[in-house]
Structure 1
Amino acid sequence: MIKFTKKDISLHNFFTKKYLKRFLILIFVYWVIVLLCEVLVLDFDVTIKKNTNPSSLTSNDNLYFDNIENFIKFVQKDTREPKILVFAHFFDDRGEPLILMKLALTLKKMGYNVYAMGIHRGKNEIILRNAGIPYLVDGAFVYASQKEHEKLFKEIDVAVINNQVLELYSPVYDYKVIWWYHGSLVCPNGSIIQLKKPQKYWQDIDKHTYMVTQEYNDLVTITEKQIESLSPCREKKMELIRNTVSTLSSTDSKDLENKILEQMRNAKEDGKIIFSTIGYLNPIKAQDILAAAIKLLPISYLHKAEFFFIGAPLDYNFLNELKREVAGYENIHITGSAPHAIIGNIYDLTDMLIVPSRTDASPLVVQEAAEHKVPAIITQYVGSKFITKDSSSGFIVNLDAKEIAKKIEWAIDHPEKIKKMGLAARKNYDKTSSEQEFAKRWSDKIDRKLKEVADYENRLKQE
């Protein structure tokens, strides 16, 4: 070890040849140590990055991307195969995003390399992060150029895309896409609400919608007439994702401070039969038809029931008109939206669900209710007939207030039979909407699509 005395440290002696040499040796040793430390840290960092992949990340890791270029780079570097992209418009608690979430989590558990993409952020992002699923939220991307879309699709093996984002379109890589619809088949962008004479439009498309929703259809071809309201304007094969809702649960409702639950509990204590309709308030969901049906009930029946209209308004003109229609009826409650955490409790307090929709391809509420042993009254235009069998696990009626009123009267007269219908609805739910059934069906879909993609790309190489 090099030692200095007080004499050595004088400026005169320091700059002599002897001591300058010692000083330079110290500087050299210092920089050697620094460089060694840098190499060790860099090597450690590289090792960490090599051993880190999306499947091992936790909610504390940054799996959120708001830039498409960074997201594509991430996908390019990911060597795991196959790469599956699921795309819906939101990451919140409404129907389509919930099914997107279920699909992403299911495919992840089955070993697929899954990415998620949406247009708007939402509370369900934490579920994606906890599952180690990288995701992109980019509202502008759907309006980007075709070339920008192709950069993403080039890196993906299969994409499952909600029909509400049909703007996300790449004709070059369209063969990789499974297009699906969950909500209304005929109004993916809420266009019906904006029509001056929506009833005429519904009458024009009722026949086709009826054919589609009579029974569960694995593949549905959208007609050219309907494609006119979509973008891009071309025919597609749209797949109906049958819902699964096993994540819905109940908590101790007595401990929940919520006005809706309080009103429902009070009605139960008074011996009332509780009917609920759950969904956005708008003409498509047809709460106006239900209101008209309730007003047709004799006074003796009205006193035995309570009706809950649960959901946020999408059309405030419709909401105001609905309020005017039911003004003075103390047993009709227009509650507004309910927190997702208490939806299970709402079903537990509900005797019968009513879905009076003018068109509804696959409403989540029918399956949620069935999971809680609650039967449903649905119109002929609701595509939930794999759950609701007429006069067995509920009722299927025409879009007619008088018919709905008659079924409500029957339910009020036969509370014990309602319970039996609820048990039948739960059996149908277990057969058609269980975790296992959902996983098997989608594994088959993805594997078939992967084979189609591989065959198509092989043909391209040979041409």
Structure 2
Amino acid sequence: MKLLLFGTGDYYNRYKKWFVHQEILALLDNSKQKQYTRIDEIRVLPPEEGVKLPYDVVVILSFYAKAMKQQLINLKVAQNNIYHFFDLRRLFAQELTEIIRLYPRQYFPSIQDGIEDMKISSKILLMSQDLTLGGPAIALFHTAIILRKNGYNVVFASMIDGPLREKLTESGIPVVVDVCLQIAVMREIDWVNTFSFIVCNTMNFHVFLSERDTKIPILWWLHDAAFFYEGVNKEIITKICLENLNVVSVGPIPQMAINKFFPDLLCGELLYGVTNITDNKAPMDSKSIVQFITIGFLEEIKGQDILLAAIKRLSDSVRKQCRFYIVGHKETLFGEQLQKDSEDIEEIVFTGSVDRRTIHELLDTSNVLICPSKQDSMPTVTAEAMMHAVPCIVSDVIGTAAYIHDGVDGFIFQNEIETALAEKIQWCVENKSVLKEIGKKARDIYEQFFSMEVFERKLLKLVESIVAKE
């Protein structure tokens, strides 16, 4: 089979192993900086040139599936020749068994026998799409800590390895890395069927759940906005049997996304918890510069372009009273354009990626966090900001907006309307003396909904109710 792989970013690196025994004609990417270079000894071409090659299939390795698929269709690629990384099971159907054998699972520490010898009655498997330090994986890490503390035998499994593994093993929680979780279904992975209860984290497990043992109760914890379902095959996800399946979401946004596939699905709520690392915030000098901060990977869905447009709408006198810190990975096509478009605005500072400690230090010295995302289920940074008593300006399409009272304990603006965001920024500058009081009320939101104590109480109640049924 002759393949073109469209996308050379994070999801290319996550899924490229499945193509090592295939003939890859080229990688496709829209970044001019990557075009005509080589990645993994494979040439990178613009899509319009790559599709001229004698390929059989184009595989999209990105969550921007809708836009990328339309781009390919516009280039006269037949729809039945376009696959997404969620379709790899179907693409490799004839050789799937052999491919899976190439990738044995890994145990950390090497305690396969210990895992299999655990008492099945209290043996819980927590399944993550990765071991990065991203929001969903960290939420599942906290779940593991709480369950272990309360007497459950917990094992953490992931599709790929990452830095979170060390934190887990240091906490006494065994880890299994099984890359086959990316393409196999539950019935094909024998070792998972030795558990009494399984938690699947994020919609990335919809293929895994499409063929499962319904005797084992599943808690499917959804964190994903509708955007992340763009590459999902409806025929696959709707195969999921709802028997003994308990679905919870991180607020209303993931629930709305899954209800498009299962309109009558009853979906509970389980918000994540954020560890409290501060109780007090120093008073802000009402004459000081107002420090705004936005945190997140620089990409279109995160809405930093809306923030930049809003900043440009501010008068010079207002803007000079501000400092805007844009924190996050900036070496992207979108990020490079954003920096170019803001070269003349000295009040904007691009920090690039920073570690967790630095994020908390920046939040502790900030007056307002801005979350301009165009889709986001429940961004962790907003809960962390409120934990620091920092009020948030959020778009009305993110999950956090459901817990904020506009002008009381935070601010809400209409999604993608830069003038509306500019008005909120200007209000904060003109009323900087009351931001501290609004921040205190934002802290109340954290304590009521996102504190670790609240999360532990709700998690244990949920788990105990499911286990009690067995």
Is the pair's TM-score, using the shorter chain for normalization, greater than 0.5? Answer: yes
1:429 aligned to 2:464? no
Paired amino acid for 1:335 = T
The answer for the alignment partner of 2:360 in structure 1 is 344
Q: Report the count of equivalent residues.
A: 344
The answer for the alignment partner of 1:57 in structure 2 is none
- In structure 2, how many angstroms separate the alpha carbons of the residues matched to 1:71 and 1:178? 25
Which structure is higher in helix share?
1
The 3 A distance-change label for structure 1 pair 145 and 372 is closer
- In structure 2, how many angstroms separate the alpha carbons of the residues matched to 1:358 and 1:244? 23
TM-score by length of 2: 0.66
The answer for the alignment partner of 1:220 in structure 2 is 255
- In structure 2, how many angstroms separate the alpha carbons of the residues matched to 1:218 and 1:297? 31
- In structure 1, how many angstroms separate the alpha carbons of the residues matched to 2:385 and 2:361? 11
The 3 A distance-change label for structure 1 pair 180 and 145 is closer
Paired amino acid for 1:360 = D
Residue 106 of structure 1 is aligned with which of 131, 140, 146? Answer: 146
Which structure is higher in strand share?
2
Tell me, what secondary structure is at the counterpart of 1:245?
A: coil
The answer for the alignment partner of 1:378 in structure 2 is 394
| Equivalent residue runs for 1:185-196 within 5 Å | 185-188=225-228
Paired amino acid for 2:392 = A
The answer for the alignment partner of 2:327 in structure 1 is 310
Shift of 1:122: 2.3
Shift of 1:161: 2.7
**Higher-RCO chain (CA-CA 8 Å, sequence separation at least 6):** 1
- In structure 1, how many angstroms separate the alpha carbons of the residues matched to 2:159 and 2:268? 21
The answer for the alignment partner of 1:334 in structure 2 is 350
Residue 284 of structure 1 is aligned with which of 280, 301, 305? Answer: 301
Structure 2: give runs of 5+ residues left out of the alignment: 1-104, 233-247, 280-284
| Equivalent residue runs for 1:31-430 within 5 Å | 66=106, 73-79=113-119, 81-144=121-184, 146-169=186-209, 170-173=211-214, 176-182=217-223, 184-188=224-228, 216-217=251-252, 220=255, 222-223=257-258, 225=260, 240-246=269-275, 248=277, 271-313=288-330, 316-385=332-401, 387-399=403-415, 400-430=417-447
The 3 A distance-change label for structure 1 pair 353 and 430 is same
The answer for the alignment partner of 2:17 in structure 1 is none
The 3 A distance-change label for structure 1 pair 174 and 353 is farther
Identity of aligned residues (%): 24
The 3 A distance-change label for structure 1 pair 378 and 421 is same
TM-score by length of 1: 0.67
Shift of 1:243: 2.2
Tell me, what secondary structure is at the counterpart of 1:220?
A: helix
- In structure 2, how many angstroms separate the alpha carbons of the residues matched to 1:218 and 1:72? 38
CA contact (8 A) 2:120 2:196 kept: no
| Equivalent residue runs for 1:445-456 within 5 Å | 445-452=462-469, 454=470
RMSD after superposition: 3.2
Per-residue CA deviation, residues 180-239 of structure 1 (Å, 9 max, x unaligned), is 122x411237869xxxxxxxxxxxxxxxxxxx99x9449936457568xxxxxx996665
- In structure 1, how many angstroms separate the alpha carbons of the residues matched to 2:111 and 2:228? 27
Paired amino acid for 2:116 = Q
Paired amino acid for 1:356 = P
Per-residue CA deviation, residues 8-67 of structure 1 (Å, 9 max, x unaligned), is xxxxxxxxxxxxxxxxxxxxxxxxxxxxxxxxxxxxxxxxxxxxxxxxxxxxxxxxx715
- In structure 1, how many angstroms separate the alpha carbons of the residues matched to 2:428 and 2:296? 21
Tell me, what secondary structure is at the counterpart of 1:188?
A: helix
The 3 A distance-change label for structure 1 pair 270 and 391 is closer
Structure 1: give runs of 5+ residues left out of the alignment: 1-64, 193-211, 228-233, 251-267, 455-463
Shift of 1:82: 1.4
The 3 A distance-change label for structure 1 pair 83 and 323 is same
The 3 A distance-change label for structure 1 pair 94 and 246 is same
